[in-house]
Amino acid sequence: TMSIDMKLIRTIVVVMMENRSFDNLLGYLSLSPYNRDKVEGLHADPAWLDKVASVYNGTKYRPFLLSDPYDVIDADPPHERDQIATQMGAATGGKFPMDGFVTNYASAKGAKPPTAGSQPPVMGYFTPEQAPVTDFFAENFAICDHWFASLPAGTQANRLMAMSGFSTIDVNQVPLPNQYLVYDWLTDNGVRWRVYHEGIPFFAMMPRWIGDVLREDHFRPLAQLISDVENEPPDEFPQVIFIEPTYTDAPHIGPSSDDHAPSAIKGGQEFLLEAYRCMSFYPDVWKGTVLVVTYDEHGGFFDHVSPPAVPTAPPAEARYKKGFDTLGVRVPAFVISPFVKAKTVFNNRLDHTSILRFVGQRFGKTGYSGLVDERAVGSVLDVLNEENPRLAPAIPSLVPYLEKQPGSAGFTPGRAPETPIQRNFQDALDAIRD
């Protein structure tokens, strides 16, 4: 890697979206007419498509183009530890066939039963027409095509890996058990941090954070970010920022913006555009920014790359006994910064702890933690390849995309029905307020 003067990096921004695989959102880059040959993405060759197809009831389901970014899909594919094992299939010689995505989807509540000739949405992928904002990022900044979820498990375990470097749980639980987070690490290391949230912040599910969320010590509405960027003095502006979307699985009004199925992706594109707009708006802030965008896990969507053997043992206080032998399924990841060259494709292995390693390299006295720094993945720092900070590329006009409404036939905005997690969220907040 090249040596970038670390002091030039003044703000690390982290955005973690929900539940899309690399192939679902970025696999198109290796297809014609994009032809990004360094990207390990999709191929049009029928033999290749047959090889990576998912098999269900003897029928092969190949990857296909999902042409509607506005439409809610039928169901949320299950994506906890056991179901992900189904999706990956049984390994031979350390390689997973990655052929159980349709079998898993068929078990989802509300899923249309797959039949020969049908196209289960989990095998679908988007192109720039459907995902113009993430395509803008891929054209102008860096994508990481070997960034994997930290664990072949669901949302909470992966978000805890991303925010702690370890997870005491392997399946979703409410409330979240208490564990030491990067928020604590930043406070202990005297680093200014803040969460800007569009909906309810994720760690409202860990009861000890609810007071801080309600007092707005470190938690502010996303609408306030642009004025803080513009008006806050450099010695008060946060050094690490987390920007959170409106979660499909949390109480909210209107469409969610986290890309979590069954939600459509238009809301997520709009949210990511706003995160970029805020951080690139003011040249003085932009020139010291590294914005990392990734997805907590693949959410049951197809990806053809077998996760590598990076083991994760249960931590001492874990609520599960059996550790993990591999990383999770590959997810989209972008490094958006004046310190990366346009069209960078970073091929080395990364996972969510690569963010913590980077935070430790920039703001720690001796790295982040032994657990994080010894993990067999690289750091976000490795992706930075531009010594002379670049100006922020102008945002293309997305008015047609953002204003376009889908065909009226059966369209409902990406609003998921209330789930048990929502109720617990609400109960926890009500308890604090009372």
Give exposure, 258-284, as e/b (b: 16+ Cβ within 10 Å).
bbbbbbbbbbbbbbbbbbbebbbeeee
Q: Give the pLDDT mean for 284-309.
A: 97
In single-letter form, the type of residue at position 37 comes to D
Give the chain's length. Answer: 434
Inform me whether the pLDDT recorded for 412 exceeds 60: no
Q: Point out the least confidently predicted range of 98-107, 205-214, 423-432.
A: 423-432
**CA 130/CA 25 separation, integer angstroms:** 9
Task: Establish how many alpha carbons lie within 13 A of residue 199's alpha carbon, considering only the half-sphere containing its beta carbon.
Answer: 22
Do the strands 59-61 and 219-221 form a parallel or antiparallel pair, or are they unpaired?
unpaired
**pLDDT tier at 410 (50, 70, 90 boundaries)?**
very low
pLDDT at 324: 97
Q: Give the pLDDT mean for 82-100.
A: 96
**CA 373/CA 366 separation, integer angstroms:** 10
pLDDT at 414: 39
Output the CA–CA distances (angstroms, integers) from residue 318 to 292, 315, 374, in the order listed. 28, 5, 20
**pLDDT tier at 426 (50, 70, 90 boundaries)?**
low
Inform me whether the pLDDT recorded for 313 exceeds 50: yes
- Decide if 391 contacts 219 (C-beta within 8 A): no
pLDDT at 186: 98
Task: Establish how many alpha carbons lie within 13 A of residue 210's alpha carbon, considering only the half-sphere containing its beta carbon.
Answer: 18
**CA 143/CA 345 separation, integer angstroms:** 5
pLDDT at 404: 66
Residue entry with tokens 């005491």: 168
Q: Give the pLDDT mean for 195-223.
A: 91
pLDDT at 263: 83
pLDDT tens-digit series, residues 331-346? 999 999 999 999 999 9
Report helix angle 155-164 to 353-363, nearest 10.
20
Q: Per the structure block, which two tokens stand in for 346?
A: 């970073």
DSSP 341: -
Residues forming beta bridges with residue 65, ordered by sequence position: 125
Q: Per the structure block, which two tokens stand in for 333?
A: 């990841």
The neighbour count for residue 33, using CB atoms within 10 Å, is 5
pLDDT at 330: 98
**CA 112/CA 110 separation, integer angstroms:** 6
Q: What are phi and psi of 409, to 5 degrees?
A: -60, 105
Q: Give the pLDDT mean for 114-124.
A: 92
Q: Per the structure block, which two tokens stand in for 308?
A: 């590598």
Give exposure, 311-330, as e/b (b: 16+ Cβ within 10 Å).
ebebbeebebeeebebbbbb
Q: Point out the least confidently predicted range of 218-222, 327-331, 406-410.
A: 406-410
For the chain, percent of residues with pLDDT exceeding 70: 91
Output the CA–CA distances (angstroms, integers) from residue 148 to 106, 156, 297, 304, 407, in the order listed. 24, 15, 8, 12, 35
Q: Give the pLDDT mean for 282-289.
A: 96
pLDDT at 409: 36
Q: Give the pLDDT mean for 180-198.
A: 97
pLDDT at 348: 98
**CA 322/CA 170 separation, integer angstroms:** 9
pLDDT tens-digit series, residues 332-388? 999 999 999 999 999 999 999 999 999 999 999 999 999 999 999 999 999 999 988
Those residues whose C-beta lies under 8 Å from the C-beta of residue 278, and which sit 6 or more positions away, are 225, 226, 229, 243
Those residues whose C-beta lies under 8 Å from the C-beta of residue 102, and which sit 6 or more positions away, are 54, 55, 56, 61, 114, 120, 122, 123
- Decide if 139 contacts 396 (C-beta within 8 A): no
Q: What is the DSSP string of 210-247?
A: HHHHHHTSSEEEGGGHHHHHHHS-TTTS-SEEEEE---
Q: Give the pLDDT mean for 297-320.
A: 96
What region, left, alpha or beta, does residue 299 occupy, with left being phi > 0 and alpha being psi -120 to 50 degrees? left
pLDDT tens-digit series, residues 46-58? 999 999 999 999 9
Q: Give the pLDDT mean for 227-243.
A: 96
Q: Give the pLDDT mean for 246-257.
A: 76
**pLDDT tier at 399 (50, 70, 90 boundaries)?**
confident
